[in-house]
Amino acid sequence: MTPTRFDVLVAGGGLVGLSVAPALARAGLSVALADGATVGAPATDPATLDARVYAISPGSVAFLESLAVWPALPASRLQPVESMRVEGDRGAVLEFSAYDLGVRALAWIVEEREIRAALVPRVRAEGVTILAPRRFESLAFAPESATLKLEGGECVEARLVVGADGVRSWVREAAGMHALPRPYGQTAVVANFACERAHRGCARQWFREDGGILAWLPLPGRRVSIVWSAPTPLAEELMALDHAALAERVAAAGGHVLRDFDVVTPPAAFPLQFLRLPALVAHRLALVGDAAHGVHPLAGQGVNLGFGDAQALAEVLASRGPVADPGAPLLLERYARRRAEPVLAMQAVTDGLARLFGARGTWVSVLRNLGLAAADRLPLVKRALAQPALR
Protein backbone atom coordinates (compact mmCIF):
# COMPACT_ATOMS: atom_id res chain seq x y z
CA MET A 1 0.00 0.00 0.00
CA THR A 2 1.37 3.41 -1.00
CA PRO A 3 1.83 5.52 2.15
CA THR A 4 0.05 8.81 2.63
CA ARG A 5 2.68 11.56 2.98
CA PHE A 6 2.76 14.52 5.38
CA ASP A 7 5.36 16.93 6.67
CA VAL A 8 4.56 16.02 10.29
CA LEU A 9 2.78 13.14 11.97
CA VAL A 10 1.59 13.80 15.53
CA ALA A 11 1.13 10.49 17.37
CA GLY A 12 -1.20 10.95 20.33
CA GLY A 13 -4.51 12.75 20.74
CA GLY A 14 -4.24 14.04 24.30
CA LEU A 15 -4.35 17.75 25.12
CA VAL A 16 -0.71 18.32 24.12
CA GLY A 17 -1.09 16.43 20.83
CA LEU A 18 -4.28 18.37 20.10
CA SER A 19 -2.44 21.65 20.68
CA VAL A 20 0.76 20.91 18.77
CA ALA A 21 -1.06 19.69 15.65
CA PRO A 22 -2.86 22.98 14.81
CA ALA A 23 0.17 24.99 15.92
CA LEU A 24 2.33 23.14 13.38
CA ALA A 25 -0.33 23.48 10.69
CA ARG A 26 -0.24 27.24 11.26
CA ALA A 27 3.51 27.06 10.65
CA GLY A 28 2.77 26.09 7.05
CA LEU A 29 3.19 22.32 7.41
CA SER A 30 0.93 19.48 6.33
CA VAL A 31 0.01 17.63 9.53
CA ALA A 32 -1.68 14.34 10.42
CA LEU A 33 -2.83 13.39 13.92
CA ALA A 34 -3.07 9.68 14.75
CA ASP A 35 -4.39 8.02 17.88
CA GLY A 36 -5.64 4.63 18.97
CA ALA A 37 -8.79 6.20 20.45
CA THR A 38 -11.43 8.37 18.85
CA VAL A 39 -10.45 12.03 18.52
CA GLY A 40 -13.62 14.00 19.01
CA ALA A 41 -15.03 16.90 20.98
CA PRO A 42 -16.67 15.48 24.11
CA ALA A 43 -20.15 16.49 25.11
CA THR A 44 -20.13 19.06 27.91
CA ASP A 45 -22.79 19.08 30.60
CA PRO A 46 -23.32 22.25 32.67
CA ALA A 47 -24.82 20.14 35.46
CA THR A 48 -21.74 17.94 35.97
CA LEU A 49 -17.99 18.31 36.51
CA ASP A 50 -15.17 16.41 34.85
CA ALA A 51 -13.05 14.48 37.36
CA ARG A 52 -9.87 15.67 35.61
CA VAL A 53 -9.02 19.33 35.95
CA TYR A 54 -5.85 21.26 35.13
CA ALA A 55 -4.21 24.37 36.53
CA ILE A 56 -3.40 26.31 33.35
CA SER A 57 -0.59 28.83 33.79
CA PRO A 58 -0.68 32.35 32.31
CA GLY A 59 1.99 31.28 29.83
CA SER A 60 -0.14 28.37 28.64
CA VAL A 61 -3.17 30.66 28.44
CA ALA A 62 -1.22 32.90 26.05
CA PHE A 63 -0.36 29.88 23.88
CA LEU A 64 -3.97 28.68 23.80
CA GLU A 65 -5.09 32.23 22.98
CA SER A 66 -2.74 32.22 19.98
CA LEU A 67 -4.56 29.12 18.72
CA ALA A 68 -7.99 30.75 19.27
CA VAL A 69 -8.73 28.02 21.83
CA TRP A 70 -8.84 29.97 25.10
CA PRO A 71 -11.57 32.42 23.94
CA ALA A 72 -13.73 29.42 23.00
CA LEU A 73 -13.86 28.19 26.61
CA PRO A 74 -17.05 29.17 28.47
CA ALA A 75 -16.28 31.74 31.16
CA SER A 76 -18.59 29.95 33.58
CA ARG A 77 -16.23 26.93 33.58
CA LEU A 78 -13.06 28.92 34.35
CA GLN A 79 -11.88 29.58 37.90
CA PRO A 80 -8.95 31.94 38.49
CA VAL A 81 -6.51 31.04 41.26
CA GLU A 82 -5.96 34.40 42.94
CA SER A 83 -3.90 33.15 45.88
CA MET A 84 -2.15 30.03 47.11
CA ARG A 85 -1.35 28.85 50.61
CA VAL A 86 1.24 26.11 51.18
CA GLU A 87 1.63 24.53 54.63
CA GLY A 88 4.52 22.37 55.78
CA ASP A 89 4.18 19.32 57.99
CA ARG A 90 5.18 21.35 61.06
CA GLY A 91 3.01 24.39 60.47
CA ALA A 92 5.29 26.57 58.30
CA VAL A 93 3.33 28.60 55.74
CA LEU A 94 4.22 30.00 52.31
CA GLU A 95 1.66 32.22 50.58
CA PHE A 96 1.46 33.57 47.02
CA SER A 97 -0.84 36.29 45.73
CA ALA A 98 -1.65 37.15 42.12
CA TYR A 99 -1.95 40.79 43.20
CA ASP A 100 1.55 40.83 44.72
CA LEU A 101 3.01 39.21 41.59
CA GLY A 102 1.24 41.65 39.27
CA VAL A 103 -0.84 39.08 37.37
CA ARG A 104 -4.58 38.55 36.96
CA ALA A 105 -4.33 34.97 38.26
CA LEU A 106 -1.65 32.53 39.34
CA ALA A 107 -3.41 29.93 37.19
CA TRP A 108 -6.82 29.07 35.79
CA ILE A 109 -8.55 25.84 36.81
CA VAL A 110 -10.25 24.21 33.81
CA GLU A 111 -11.82 20.80 33.24
CA GLU A 112 -10.09 18.50 30.80
CA ARG A 113 -13.20 17.95 28.71
CA GLU A 114 -13.73 21.71 28.27
CA ILE A 115 -10.21 22.19 26.89
CA ARG A 116 -10.61 19.16 24.62
CA ALA A 117 -13.98 20.43 23.37
CA ALA A 118 -12.29 23.70 22.38
CA LEU A 119 -9.16 22.09 20.88
CA VAL A 120 -10.73 19.49 18.57
CA PRO A 121 -12.57 22.06 16.39
CA ARG A 122 -9.31 24.02 16.01
CA VAL A 123 -7.52 20.86 14.86
CA ARG A 124 -10.15 20.41 12.15
CA ALA A 125 -10.25 24.11 11.25
CA GLU A 126 -6.48 24.17 10.63
CA GLY A 127 -6.76 21.33 8.11
CA VAL A 128 -5.10 18.63 10.21
CA THR A 129 -5.87 15.12 8.92
CA ILE A 130 -7.20 12.96 11.76
CA LEU A 131 -6.39 9.24 11.65
CA ALA A 132 -8.36 7.78 14.54
CA PRO A 133 -9.22 5.44 16.03
CA ARG A 134 -6.31 3.53 14.50
CA ARG A 135 -4.06 1.22 16.50
CA PHE A 136 -0.32 1.64 15.87
CA GLU A 137 1.41 -1.48 14.54
CA SER A 138 4.96 -0.46 13.62
CA LEU A 139 7.18 2.57 13.19
CA ALA A 140 10.20 2.56 10.90
CA PHE A 141 12.76 5.31 10.37
CA ALA A 142 14.61 5.93 7.10
CA PRO A 143 17.16 8.65 6.29
CA GLU A 144 14.56 11.02 4.78
CA SER A 145 11.34 10.07 6.57
CA ALA A 146 9.55 7.85 9.07
CA THR A 147 6.67 5.48 8.31
CA LEU A 148 3.94 4.53 10.75
CA LYS A 149 1.92 1.43 9.93
CA LEU A 150 -1.62 1.51 11.27
CA GLU A 151 -4.07 -1.27 11.96
CA GLY A 152 -5.57 -2.49 8.69
CA GLY A 153 -2.35 -1.98 6.76
CA GLU A 154 -2.58 1.77 6.14
CA CYS A 155 0.83 3.50 6.16
CA VAL A 156 1.59 7.14 6.93
CA GLU A 157 4.92 8.68 5.96
CA ALA A 158 6.21 11.91 7.47
CA ARG A 159 9.47 13.81 7.59
CA LEU A 160 8.96 14.35 11.32
CA VAL A 161 7.12 12.28 13.94
CA VAL A 162 5.98 14.06 17.10
CA GLY A 163 5.53 11.62 19.97
CA ALA A 164 2.68 12.87 22.15
CA ASP A 165 1.39 9.55 23.44
CA GLY A 166 2.01 9.76 27.18
CA VAL A 167 4.47 8.72 29.84
CA ARG A 168 4.62 5.10 28.62
CA SER A 169 5.01 6.22 25.01
CA TRP A 170 4.73 3.52 22.35
CA VAL A 171 6.39 5.89 19.86
CA ARG A 172 9.37 6.51 22.15
CA GLU A 173 9.85 2.77 22.65
CA ALA A 174 9.50 2.06 18.92
CA ALA A 175 12.23 4.62 18.26
CA GLY A 176 14.61 2.78 20.57
CA MET A 177 14.49 5.40 23.35
CA HIS A 178 14.04 2.95 26.20
CA ALA A 179 13.18 4.61 29.49
CA LEU A 180 11.17 3.31 32.42
CA PRO A 181 9.38 5.86 34.62
CA ARG A 182 10.47 5.76 38.28
CA PRO A 183 7.54 5.23 40.65
CA TYR A 184 7.19 7.61 43.61
CA GLY A 185 5.44 5.00 45.75
CA GLN A 186 2.47 7.37 45.79
CA THR A 187 -0.94 7.29 44.13
CA ALA A 188 -2.87 10.43 43.30
CA VAL A 189 -6.51 10.35 44.38
CA VAL A 190 -8.57 12.97 42.54
CA ALA A 191 -12.19 13.99 43.10
CA ASN A 192 -14.43 17.05 43.12
CA PHE A 193 -16.38 18.28 46.14
CA ALA A 194 -18.95 20.89 47.07
CA CYS A 195 -17.77 22.89 50.09
CA GLU A 196 -19.79 24.72 52.73
CA ARG A 197 -17.59 27.82 52.85
CA ALA A 198 -16.50 29.91 49.82
CA HIS A 199 -12.91 29.23 48.73
CA ARG A 200 -12.38 32.83 47.46
CA GLY A 201 -10.15 31.64 44.63
CA CYS A 202 -7.50 30.26 47.00
CA ALA A 203 -5.60 27.07 46.18
CA ARG A 204 -4.29 25.23 49.23
CA GLN A 205 -1.60 22.61 49.63
CA TRP A 206 -0.45 20.63 52.63
CA PHE A 207 2.79 18.66 52.94
CA ARG A 208 1.78 15.89 55.33
CA GLU A 209 3.75 14.01 57.97
CA ASP A 210 3.31 10.72 56.09
CA GLY A 211 5.15 12.17 53.07
CA GLY A 212 1.95 12.72 51.10
CA ILE A 213 0.77 16.00 49.60
CA LEU A 214 -2.83 17.20 49.59
CA ALA A 215 -3.93 19.96 47.21
CA TRP A 216 -7.29 21.72 47.00
CA LEU A 217 -7.93 23.59 43.75
CA PRO A 218 -10.82 26.08 43.56
CA LEU A 219 -13.59 25.43 41.04
CA PRO A 220 -16.41 27.76 39.97
CA GLY A 221 -18.92 28.23 42.77
CA ARG A 222 -18.47 26.60 46.15
CA ARG A 223 -16.63 23.60 44.78
CA VAL A 224 -13.06 22.33 44.87
CA SER A 225 -11.04 19.66 43.10
CA ILE A 226 -8.57 17.72 45.20
CA VAL A 227 -5.36 15.90 44.33
CA TRP A 228 -4.19 13.79 47.25
CA SER A 229 -0.74 12.39 46.42
CA ALA A 230 -0.82 9.70 49.07
CA PRO A 231 1.37 6.73 49.96
CA THR A 232 -0.17 3.89 47.99
CA PRO A 233 -1.65 2.01 51.03
CA LEU A 234 -3.41 5.23 52.13
CA ALA A 235 -4.65 5.86 48.59
CA GLU A 236 -6.18 2.38 48.54
CA GLU A 237 -7.84 3.11 51.86
CA LEU A 238 -9.26 6.40 50.56
CA MET A 239 -10.60 4.78 47.39
CA ALA A 240 -12.42 2.16 49.49
CA LEU A 241 -14.36 4.76 51.53
CA ASP A 242 -17.98 5.57 50.80
CA HIS A 243 -18.68 9.11 49.60
CA ALA A 244 -19.69 10.50 52.99
CA ALA A 245 -16.62 9.07 54.72
CA LEU A 246 -14.31 10.29 51.94
CA ALA A 247 -15.77 13.81 52.10
CA GLU A 248 -15.22 13.94 55.87
CA ARG A 249 -11.68 12.54 55.53
CA VAL A 250 -10.71 15.18 52.94
CA ALA A 251 -12.32 18.04 54.89
CA ALA A 252 -10.59 16.94 58.10
CA ALA A 253 -7.21 16.60 56.37
CA GLY A 254 -7.51 20.30 55.49
CA GLY A 255 -8.49 21.32 58.98
CA HIS A 256 -12.11 21.96 57.94
CA VAL A 257 -11.08 25.40 56.65
CA LEU A 258 -13.94 25.22 54.13
CA ARG A 259 -16.23 23.43 56.60
CA ASP A 260 -18.15 20.36 55.38
CA PHE A 261 -17.62 18.65 52.02
CA ASP A 262 -19.93 16.64 49.75
CA VAL A 263 -18.68 14.45 46.87
CA VAL A 264 -19.59 15.87 43.43
CA THR A 265 -17.65 13.44 41.23
CA PRO A 266 -16.48 9.98 42.36
CA PRO A 267 -12.77 9.58 43.12
CA ALA A 268 -10.25 8.22 40.63
CA ALA A 269 -6.67 7.13 41.25
CA PHE A 270 -3.47 6.93 39.23
CA PRO A 271 0.11 6.04 40.22
CA LEU A 272 2.69 8.82 40.26
CA GLN A 273 5.89 8.44 38.25
CA PHE A 274 8.98 10.45 37.44
CA LEU A 275 10.52 10.36 33.96
CA ARG A 276 13.71 12.04 32.80
CA LEU A 277 15.14 11.32 29.35
CA PRO A 278 18.69 11.99 28.16
CA ALA A 279 17.22 13.66 25.04
CA LEU A 280 13.86 14.94 23.79
CA VAL A 281 14.73 14.28 20.15
CA ALA A 282 16.09 11.51 17.95
CA HIS A 283 16.34 10.90 14.21
CA ARG A 284 13.09 12.25 12.66
CA LEU A 285 11.48 12.34 16.11
CA ALA A 286 10.55 15.01 18.67
CA LEU A 287 8.88 14.15 21.98
CA VAL A 288 6.39 16.43 23.71
CA GLY A 289 4.32 16.31 26.89
CA ASP A 290 4.39 13.26 29.15
CA ALA A 291 6.19 11.28 26.44
CA ALA A 292 9.13 13.65 26.98
CA HIS A 293 9.07 14.10 30.76
CA GLY A 294 7.15 13.12 33.88
CA VAL A 295 6.82 15.34 36.94
CA HIS A 296 5.16 15.09 40.34
CA PRO A 297 1.76 16.85 40.32
CA LEU A 298 2.52 18.88 43.47
CA ALA A 299 3.00 22.05 41.38
CA GLY A 300 0.33 21.22 38.80
CA GLN A 301 2.79 21.81 35.96
CA GLY A 302 2.62 18.62 33.88
CA VAL A 303 0.25 19.87 31.19
CA ASN A 304 1.88 23.32 31.21
CA LEU A 305 5.26 21.77 30.42
CA GLY A 306 3.55 19.93 27.56
CA PHE A 307 1.97 23.11 26.18
CA GLY A 308 5.42 24.71 26.45
CA ASP A 309 6.86 21.89 24.36
CA ALA A 310 4.13 22.35 21.74
CA GLN A 311 4.67 26.09 21.56
CA ALA A 312 8.46 25.80 21.35
CA LEU A 313 8.38 23.16 18.61
CA ALA A 314 5.87 25.18 16.58
CA GLU A 315 7.95 28.34 16.93
CA VAL A 316 11.16 26.58 15.88
CA LEU A 317 9.52 25.08 12.79
CA ALA A 318 7.69 28.31 11.91
CA SER A 319 11.00 30.19 11.88
CA ARG A 320 12.93 27.49 10.00
CA GLY A 321 13.78 29.88 7.16
CA PRO A 322 15.48 28.15 4.22
CA VAL A 323 15.51 24.79 6.01
CA ALA A 324 12.54 23.14 4.31
CA ASP A 325 12.79 19.79 6.10
CA PRO A 326 10.89 19.92 9.45
CA GLY A 327 12.82 16.85 10.63
CA ALA A 328 16.25 18.35 9.99
CA PRO A 329 18.67 17.71 12.88
CA LEU A 330 19.42 21.45 13.12
CA LEU A 331 15.78 22.24 13.88
CA LEU A 332 15.33 19.36 16.31
CA GLU A 333 18.42 20.44 18.24
CA ARG A 334 17.05 23.98 18.44
CA TYR A 335 13.85 22.61 19.95
CA ALA A 336 15.77 20.40 22.41
CA ARG A 337 17.97 23.29 23.55
CA ARG A 338 14.98 25.59 24.03
CA ARG A 339 13.18 23.08 26.26
CA ALA A 340 16.15 21.70 28.21
CA GLU A 341 16.34 24.43 30.88
CA PRO A 342 12.63 24.87 31.73
CA VAL A 343 12.01 21.13 31.86
CA LEU A 344 15.08 20.42 33.99
CA ALA A 345 14.26 23.31 36.34
CA MET A 346 10.67 22.19 36.89
CA GLN A 347 11.70 18.58 37.41
CA ALA A 348 14.37 19.64 39.90
CA VAL A 349 11.86 21.68 41.91
CA THR A 350 8.99 19.18 41.92
CA ASP A 351 11.10 16.07 42.43
CA GLY A 352 13.26 17.83 45.01
CA LEU A 353 10.26 18.98 47.05
CA ALA A 354 8.60 15.58 46.85
CA ARG A 355 11.79 13.93 48.12
CA LEU A 356 12.46 16.61 50.76
CA PHE A 357 9.01 16.39 52.33
CA GLY A 358 8.98 12.62 51.95
CA ALA A 359 12.16 12.24 54.01
CA ARG A 360 11.66 11.15 57.61
CA GLY A 361 13.53 12.51 60.59
CA THR A 362 12.98 15.30 63.12
CA TRP A 363 15.88 17.50 61.99
CA VAL A 364 14.96 17.16 58.32
CA SER A 365 11.40 18.15 59.16
CA VAL A 366 12.50 21.16 61.19
CA LEU A 367 14.90 22.41 58.53
CA ARG A 368 12.48 22.10 55.61
CA ASN A 369 9.78 23.98 57.53
CA LEU A 370 12.26 26.69 58.48
CA GLY A 371 13.10 27.05 54.79
CA LEU A 372 9.43 27.30 53.85
CA ALA A 373 8.81 29.97 56.47
CA ALA A 374 11.93 31.91 55.47
CA ALA A 375 10.88 31.94 51.81
CA ASP A 376 7.53 33.42 52.83
CA ARG A 377 9.29 36.42 54.40
CA LEU A 378 11.41 37.16 51.31
CA PRO A 379 9.37 38.68 48.43
CA LEU A 380 12.19 38.33 45.89
CA VAL A 381 12.53 34.63 46.69
CA LYS A 382 8.78 34.11 46.36
CA ARG A 383 8.76 35.87 43.01
CA ALA A 384 11.68 33.74 41.81
CA LEU A 385 9.81 30.58 42.86
CA ALA A 386 6.59 31.69 41.15
CA GLN A 387 7.94 32.92 37.80
CA PRO A 388 8.69 29.52 36.19
CA ALA A 389 5.16 28.31 37.03
CA LEU A 390 3.60 31.52 35.70
CA ARG A 391 5.45 31.11 32.40
d(CA 280, CA 288): 8
What is the structure's pLDDT at 33?
98
The region, left, alpha or beta by phi > 0 then psi within -120 to 50, assigned to residue 321 is: left
- Are 314 and 20 a contacting pair, CB within 8 Å? yes
For residue 57, which phi and psi values (nearest 5 degrees)?
-75, 160
Q: pLDDT of 74-120, one tens digit each?
A: 999 999 999 999 898 777 788 888 988 888 999 999 999 999 999 99
Q: pLDDT of 114-137, one tens digit each?
A: 999 999 999 999 999 999 999 999
At the top level of CATH, which class does the domain 4-54+114-181+275-354 belong to? Answer: alpha beta
What is the structure's pLDDT at 22?
98
Cβ within 8 Å of residue 62, ≥6 positions away: none
**For residue 300, pLDDT beyond 80:** no
- Are 53 and 115 a contacting pair, CB within 8 Å? no
Strands 146-150 and 136-141: antiparallel
Q: pLDDT of 151-178, one tens digit each?
A: 989 999 999 999 999 999 999 999 999 9
Radius of gyration over alpha carbons of the chain, in Å? Answer: 21
What is the structure's pLDDT at 210?
87
User: What DSSP element (H or E) covers 141?
Assistant: strand 136-141
The DSSP output letter for 220 is T
d(CA 94, CA 85): 6
Torsion of CA 131, 136, 137, 141, to 10 degrees: 90
- Are 106 and 386 a contacting pair, CB within 8 Å? yes
* pTM listed for this prediction: 0.92
Domain range annotation of the chain: 4-54+114-181+275-354
Q: pLDDT of 345-363, one tens digit each?
A: 888 777 766 666 666 656 5
Q: pLDDT of 264-283, one tens digit each?
A: 999 999 999 989 999 999 99
